Chain A
Amino acid sequence: MPGEISLAHMGVLFLDEFSEFHRDVLESLRQPLEDGIVTVSRARTSCTYPASFMLVAAMNPCPCGNRGSRTKACTCTPSQIQRYARRISGPLLDRIDLFIEMSDVPFEDLKGKAAGEPSKVIRQRVVAARQRQAERFGDSIRTNARMSIQQIEAYCHLNSGCQSLMERAFKRMNLSARAYQRLRKVARTIADLDGSDEILEKHLAEAIRYRSLSILGENEL
């Protein structure tokens, strides 16, 4: 029987309370995230299922959940936060492209003061970006996420401004080679959403912003 990972094929796999999963469960996500397949090994046989999905995960910023809050005090010690951060391994984090840290929402805002962009408008932008990708890739693949190295080289050119920005990001954030390729893909998608043929510095800067997670800095001690 295929498990949750294969059931999510061509869809979204959402894991709430990401840090509460067993480490081996989380590590088993690495192969499908990279290759789009999952190999299940049992005593006698091993079986490979398709598992091409988008991983969405949610977790607290620390064990007590108040880290970064400006209204409630975080009661965690540095070592508790470190232990918590270590539950998600570096290689797994490396395969996640977008991190969004939420701050707490004041009550007035819950009552719906700020009216954001309506979903309808966003949808149009997403459809247009998908259209660009369809034209770009023809029948080979559908989305930027599936680009091979050769396709990245062909479609994700970085101008000199982007290259120097990338260099600074590498030094500051200790990025891996994998992160480098993934950043280019995300920048490509942001440029597509912006209706731009070229990846501009602001597109790459936004992609870099999504790769920074403040809890990552907690693994150093």
Chain B
Amino acid sequence: MIDDTDRLELWLHYATSTRYRQFSAVREEYYYLEEAWEDVQKGRMGRLSMLSEESRKRLKEAAADGFMDRYVRWLDKNGVSVVTASSYRYPALLKEIPDPPPVLFCKGNLNEDMQLPLAIVGTRRCTDYGKEVAKTFGRELVKAGGTVVSGLATGIDGYAALGALSVEGAQDPTVAVLGCGIDVVYPKGNEKLYAAIAERGCLVTEFLPKTPALPQNFPFRNRIISGLSLGVLVVEAGERSGASITARLALEQGREVFAVPGRITDLMSAGTNGMIRRGEAKLVTGLSDILEEFGEGGFGEEAQQVAFSDLSPLEQRIVKALETGEKNEDELLETCGGGVDELIPTLTGLTFSGIIKQLPGSVYALDPLQTTIV
């Protein structure tokens, strides 16, 4: 429910939107916003000269009879809650950034006591590698009691959220920050994920309802993603990507930045490898690399350990062959022998045990995120 103090801040936010300085200037001028409301209703704009033409126009528009009633009713009807910067429910970490958004629109439960919030972000055009890493980190972070913060985009962000949601029974596993109005599903086709996060996690945005996902919105959104989080993990990013912007904002906000390394030939790892090279990000190969930074060691599920000597001779040959890189069935047949009728069942068995994984094109690879062979 939206109460009367929220209403006045909503009103001022409606007029100033992302022009935060104007919002705070008005708050400084008026200790009680009720006075501003009265002034505007009576057409006395003298004390509001710090506002731009546009803001003043919108302030008057929203002070008209019934306007705010309709606005608030619409929010209630659509299950949107409002958390203002003056509310105790406003995330403490977000308050620390230079320009915290004065109003957050939320769908779902914004946990005021968010545990270990970590942003997991990256390119929309992710590879299978990035997808798997994002899902694994998302899942493992939630299992360790943390919260995944991401940007509800396709690619890395979406997969990280999906990994978080895959942990059954987890409370508030993920928060997604939108670059559009709370009622706008972007990108199209993401309806299922949107609904799942609204139900089990929380969708957050500072943009007014119905705001389309304009390109210029995303830097604003990115600063909230990092602002809500203790750190930012970049899984895959091209040379000049939005994820790199998020990482830079995170550094400016004094948050930790982590990056997953990739092969030097992978375009989508150029950004992350570069961040590691320049010393902007800490290289991580597992969740424990992140948790230790926050003094949270000992949580998180480590990969299972399997003794090499416990494997059958054929399994050992397969593991050895895959240590030098992924191979398809024909190549494995050539290097490991054993005949198709032995090789294929053995591959199925190793896949089910989480020791290897199957990639597109009947290609197999070791799965070090799930299993360490000792």
Contacts and interface: CB of A to CB of B under 8 A. Distances in A.
Contacts of B352: 165, 168-169, 172
Contacts of A203: 345
Contacts of A169: 352
B347 interface: yes
B38 interface: no
A160 B346 CA distance: 18
B95 interface: no
Nearest to B190: A221
Given A61-B361, A68-B363, A77 B154 contact: yes
A209 B187 contact: no
A178 B89 CA distance: 50
A205 B154 CA distance: 34
Interface string A67-102: 111100100011100110000000000000000111
A77 B342 contact: no
B345 A77 contact: no
Given A221-B154, A221-B162, A214 B344 contact: no
Contacts of B248: none
B126 A78 contact: yes
Given A202-B342, A221-B154, A221-B190, A214 B358 contact: yes
B349 interface: yes
A220 B162 contact: yes
B361 A209 contact: no
B295 interface: no
Contact of B328 (A67, A103, A172, A220): A103
Given A101-B360, A103-B362, A114 B192 contact: no
B193 A221 contact: yes
A5 interface: no
B131 A100 contact: no
Nearest to A75: B125
Interface residues of A, number: 35
A202 B362 contact: no
A165 to B, nearest CB: 8
A192 interface: no
B155 interface: yes
B54 interface: no
A83 B341 CA distance: 35
A103 B344 CA distance: 16
A103 B341 contact: no
Nearest to B130: A78
Contacts of A67: 360-361
A101 B334 contact: no
A95 B281 CA distance: 48
Contact of B334 (A114, A172, A205, A206): A114
A172 B360 CA distance: 17
A100 B340 CA distance: 14
Nearest to B265: A73
A185 B359 CA distance: 26
A215 interface: yes
Interface-central residue, A101, A104, A194, A209, by most chain B CB under 10 Å: A209
B345 A68 contact: no
A68 B361 contact: yes
B348 interface: yes
B271 interface: no
A206 B154 contact: no
A207 to B, nearest CB: 9
A220 B126 CA distance: 15
Contacts of A143: none
B360 A206 contact: no
Contact of A209 (B154, B334, B347): B347
Nearest to B158: A221
B124 interface: yes
B189 interface: yes
B289 interface: no
- Enumerate the 7 nearest inter-chain pairs by beta-carbon distance, A residue then B residue, closest first: A68-B361, A68-B360, A205-B345, A202-B345, A103-B361, A205-B348, A103-B328
Interface of A: 61, 67-70, 73, 77-79, 82-83, 100-104, 114, 165, 168-169, 172, 194, 201-206, 208-209, 212, 214-215, 220-221
Interface of B: 124-126, 131, 154-155, 158-159, 162, 187, 189-190, 192-193, 267, 326, 328, 330, 334, 341-342, 344-349, 352, 358-363
21 contacts: A68-B361, A73-B267, A77-B124, A77-B125, A78-B155, A79-B154, A79-B187, A79-B189, A114-B330, A169-B352, A201-B345, A202-B341, A202-B345, A204-B345, A205-B346, A205-B349, A206-B341, A206-B344, A209-B348, A220-B162, A221-B193
Given A209-B344, A220-B162, 11 more contacts: A61-B360, A78-B125, A101-B361, A168-B352, A169-B352, A204-B345, A205-B345, A205-B346, A205-B348, A214-B361, A221-B193
